[in-house]
Amino acid sequence: FAVLYEARSNTGIDRMKIINAVAKSIPQPHKVDLSNPDKTIIVQIAKTICMIGVVERYKELSKFNLRQLTSPPEK
């Protein structure tokens, strides 16, 4: 798994504290794999609201960007 942190209009929260807290809360036997995660935990903070989601194959599917998914592969 991997943890992705994004913040908008909020500078009061330390990025690494959030990432470490989320990673420590994931039980064994799950392992961190930043290069090829099968699941990505997305933590987004907008002002004072925190949103958390878990998605599969996030990196593999070009972060769900339709333009990147439908464009021809680069040579």
pLDDT at 63: 67
CB count within 10 Å of CB 18 equals 17
- Specify the pLDDT at position 58: 84
The CATH code that applies to domain 2-70 is 3.30.2300.10
Contacts of 42 (CB under 8 A, 6+ apart): 4, 6, 51, 52, 53, 54, 55, 58
Mean pLDDT of 4-13: 90
Domain range list for the chain: 2-70
Strand order through the sheet with 2-8: 2-8, 39-46, 49-56
Check whether 37 has a pLDDT greater than 70.
yes
Comparing 57 with 67, the larger pLDDT belongs to 57
